[in-house]
């Protein structure tokens, strides 16, 4: 029986889970204080602290680490690659250490998984990191030749929920056209055409609909003016785009439950922002439907905000004519990591090699 350790370092927490085959037998979310997460130039400076948190949690739970047969970590900000499960190798580790595509806690997933795997003499993997790039060439073109759209999104979640929808439809992922809207602090909306995410917004850099923490796409002339205003600097502008934009900028909170309470108390402006975010999400879903000439097998709405039935209904009202809508609240990242490793261990899928020279 396969026993898989899944590791998911997030910006303010570390998630740990153990699975026997596809059944979760242990799960722990360790929240961190800001003082514990300080680092200099590289997020990899948190390595020792995060690894100790993981090993301590397993020991406290009485998990015998020697019985683990594989380790899988949330993939990092490495070089663009196609979706799938990857062996962790030296080239990947180096790109995680320096943060090739950016500094994010997920860079630690491969680093810690690799060390635990080597110590135990078992395989270690990552699955569908945020840099999965399957976008078509035409989708990357912008109005300036020196700027290309990039693929940076919740790939792990997207791939997991699409497989789930495909199973419900009784078809193979590779035979379907599905639009996925992942709704969290950031929002990514992508179209999966015959097994590839051929177009998706850059969810980590503010593109697309606004979200609880991100500004979304903005009128460029105004944004340029704000950038050159004397009372702003680059870091402040970036913070407004990612971190303190969107619902946070309008209503002072990134918690959609609080927004719901404001609406119940009669706050008309909160209601406007709530409905505007749903409107922009629906509009983005509609825009992606043209990629496959309107041939859409399903729309999947997922993420933490998908627990809000009223919000989801506002999206469904506008997009249900496009295709059948599946709603899978939550993120299921840990299960998705374990499933990716399990498919390889069962021989259902081949693990890929990370080769920067070929990317």
Residues of the chain with CATH 3.30.420.40: 3-133+334-358, 155-330
Q: 300, 264 in Cβ contact below 8 A? A: no
Global pTM reads 0.89
Query: Please, what is the angle between helix 309-319 and helix 268-288, to 10°?
Result: 40
Confidence check: pLDDT of 76 > 60: yes
Confidence check: pLDDT of 206 > 80: no
For residue 138, how many other CB atoms are within 10 A of its CB? 9
pLDDT in tens, 175-190: 999 999 999 988 999 9
Q: Which of 2-11, 224-233, 251-260 has the lowest mean pLDDT?
A: 224-233
| Backbone torsion region of residue 303, taken as left when φ is above 0, otherwise alpha when ψ lies between -120 and 50, otherwise beta | left
Strand partners, 29: 15
* CA distance from start to end of the chain: 35
> How is domain 3-133+334-358 classified at the CATH fold level?
Nucleotidyltransferase; domain 5 (3.30.420)
Q: Residue 204: which of 253, 154, 146, 149 has the closest Cα?
A: 154
Q: Residue 10: which of 206, 136, 184, 135 has the closest Cα?
A: 184
186 contacts: CB under 8 Å, gap ≥ 6: 154, 203, 204, 211, 213, 214, 242
Return the CATH number of the domain spanning residue range 155-330: 3.30.420.40
Q: CA 229, CA 150: separation in Å to the nearest integer?
A: 28
pLDDT at 358: 59
Q: What is the DSSP string of 233-255?
A: -HHHHHHHHBTS-HHHHHHS-S-
pLDDT at 228: 84
Confidence check: pLDDT of 230 > 90: no
Q: 11, 4 in Cβ contact below 8 A? A: no
Q: What mean pLDDT do residues 194-208 have? A: 92
pLDDT band at residue 357 under the 50/70/90 scheme? low
Q: CA 265, CA 263: separation in Å to the nearest integer?
A: 5
pLDDT at 40: 75
pLDDT in tens, 110-152: 999 999 999 999 999 999 999 999 999 999 999 999 999 999 9
pLDDT in tens, 31-60: 887 777 777 788 889 999 999 999 999 999
271 contacts: CB under 8 Å, gap ≥ 6: 263
Helices (H), 43-86: 47-60
Percent of the chain scoring above 70 in pLDDT: 99
pLDDT at 142: 95
The two structure tokens encoding residue 270? 């909160």
pLDDT band at residue 293 under the 50/70/90 scheme? very high
- Segment (H or E) for 148: none
Q: What mean pLDDT do residues 96-112 have? A: 93
């Amino acid at each position: 029986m396969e026993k898989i350790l899944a590791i998911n370092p997030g910006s303010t927490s570390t998630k740990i889970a153990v699975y026997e085959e596809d059944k979760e037998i242990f799960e722990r979310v360790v929240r961190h204080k800001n003082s514990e997460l300080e680092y200099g130039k590289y997020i990899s400076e948190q390595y020792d602290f995060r690894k100790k948190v993981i090993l301590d949690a397993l020991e406290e739970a009485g998990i015998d680490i020697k019985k683990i047969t594989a380790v899988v970590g949330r993939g990092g900000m490495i070089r663009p690659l196609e979706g799938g499960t990857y062996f962790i190798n030296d080239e990947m580790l180096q790109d995680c250490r320096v943060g090739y595509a950016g500094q994010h806690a997920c860079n630690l997933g491969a680093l810690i998984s690799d060390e635990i795997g080597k110590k135990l003499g078992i395989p270690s993997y990552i699955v569908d990191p945020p840099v999965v790039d399957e976008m078509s060439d035409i989708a990357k073109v912008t109005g300036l030749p020196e700027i290309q759209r990039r693929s940076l999104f919740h790939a792990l979640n997207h791939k997991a929920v699409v497989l789930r929808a495909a199973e419900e439809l009784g078809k193979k992922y590779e035979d379907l056209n599905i639009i996925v809207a992942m709704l969290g602090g950031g929002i990514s909306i992508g179209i999966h055409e015959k097994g590839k995410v051929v177009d998706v917004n850059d969810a980590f850099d503010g593109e697309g609909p606004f979200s609880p923490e991100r500004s979304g796409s903005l009128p460029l002339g105004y944004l340029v003016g704000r950038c050159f205003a004397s009372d702003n600097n680059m870091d402040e502008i970036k913070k407004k785009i990612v971190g303190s934009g969107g619902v946070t900028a309008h209503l002072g909170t990134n918690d959609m439950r609080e927004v719901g309470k404001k609406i119940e108390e009669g706050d008309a402006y909160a209601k406007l922002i709530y409905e505007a975010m749903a409107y922009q999400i629906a509009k983005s879903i509609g825009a992606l439907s043209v990629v496959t000439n309107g041939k859409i097998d399903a729309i999947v709405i997922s993420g933490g905000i998908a627990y809000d039935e009223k919000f989801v209904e506002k999206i469904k009202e506008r997009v249900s004519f496009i295709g059948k809508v599946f709603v899978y609240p939550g993120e299921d990242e840990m299960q998705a990591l374990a499933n990716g490793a399990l498919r390889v261990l069962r021989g259902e899928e081949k693990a890929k090699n990370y080769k920067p020279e070929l990317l």
